């Protein structure tokens, strides 16, 4: 399925379902330089990639953040549940980004194995086994398709939670809405 990427250049670009809630606030903080509000506790959970090129502009105490390769929250569900049950969040922003290294992992197999051998002191056999056992679990395919499937999966698991699929462009440090 082909999805659209919507720019958020002004407040009226924010989809109605995200306005006046923490998702809209995140878009305003990141893209529209909204002045920071004071937050006593988090009102949003953000699931995003561990990639070091991404930086979110938001106030302290605004959001819980789970960083995982490709924004893959499959192995962080207890943390998601904790943010909902104990942290009382009712909104989740799932943020994919362009140029994600979790896409086409097989192309990085040699680099991965060589890096573990040289940087961590692993044997070639152990590094190869590690890659072959775990890479399929962490491969996300297309960034946008993956984040939409994560949104659908989490929406079924947490039906009362508003989940927004967003897209971060590394080149301009902006968030976009995926529809």
In a shared domain, residues 169 and 110: no
pLDDT, one tens digit per residue, over 37-74 is 999 999 999 999 999 988 899 999 999 999 999 999 99
In a shared domain, residues 94 and 36: yes
In a shared domain, residues 135 and 151: no
Evaluate the CA torsion angle 10, 14, 16, 21 in order and state its sign: negative
pLDDT-derived band at 2, boundaries 50, 70, 90: confident
Q: Answer for the pair 43, 64: CB distance below 8 angstroms, yes or no.
A: no
pLDDT, one tens digit per residue, over 139-166 is 998 999 999 999 999 999 999 999 999 9
In a shared domain, residues 128 and 58: no
Please choose, from the candidates 51, 137, 59, 49, the residue with its C-alpha nearest in 3D space to the C-alpha of residue 93: 49
In a shared domain, residues 126 and 70: no
In a shared domain, residues 59 and 78: yes
In a shared domain, residues 92 and 129: no
Give the model's pLDDT for residue 124: 97
In a shared domain, residues 153 and 133: no
Domain of residue 83, residue span: 5-103+140-178
Distance separating alpha carbons of residues 97 and 69, to the nearest angstrom: 11
Name the 3-class secondary structure at 103. coil
Distance separating alpha carbons of residues 90 and 150, to the nearest angstrom: 17
Give the ranges where 22-142 is alpha helix by DSSP (H). Answer: 22-31, 77-85, 109-120, 124-138
pTM for this model (two decimals): 0.94
- Whichever domain contains 32, its CATH number is 3.40.1050.10
In a shared domain, residues 153 and 174: yes
Please give the share of the chain, as a percent, with pLDDT higher than 90: 93
In a shared domain, residues 68 and 117: no
Distance separating alpha carbons of residues 89 and 132, to the nearest angstrom: 36
pLDDT, one tens digit per residue, over 98-108 is 999 999 999 99
């Amino acid at each position: 399925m082909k999805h659209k990427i919507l720019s958020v250049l002004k407040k009226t670009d924010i989809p109605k379902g995200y306005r006046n809630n923490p998702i809209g606030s995140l878009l305003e903080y990141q893209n529209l330089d909204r002045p920071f509000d004071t937050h006593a506790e988090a009102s949003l959970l953000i699931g995003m990639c561990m990639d070091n090129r991404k930086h979110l502009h938001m106030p302290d105490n605004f959001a819980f953040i789970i960083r995982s390769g490709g924004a893959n929250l499959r192995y962080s569900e207890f943390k998601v549940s904790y943010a909902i049950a104990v942290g009382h969040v009712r909104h989740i922003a799932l943020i994919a980004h362009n140029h994600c290294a979790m896409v086409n992992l097989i192309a990085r197999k040699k680099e991965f194995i060589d890096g573990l051998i040289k940087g961590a002191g692993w044997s070639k056999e152990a590094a190869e086994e590690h890659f072959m056992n775990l890479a399929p679990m962490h491969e996300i395919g297309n960034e946008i398709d993956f984040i939409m499937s994560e949104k659908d999966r989490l929406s079924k698991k947490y039906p009362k939670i508003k989940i927004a699929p967003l897209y971060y462009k590394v080149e301009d440090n902006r968030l976009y809405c995926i529809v």
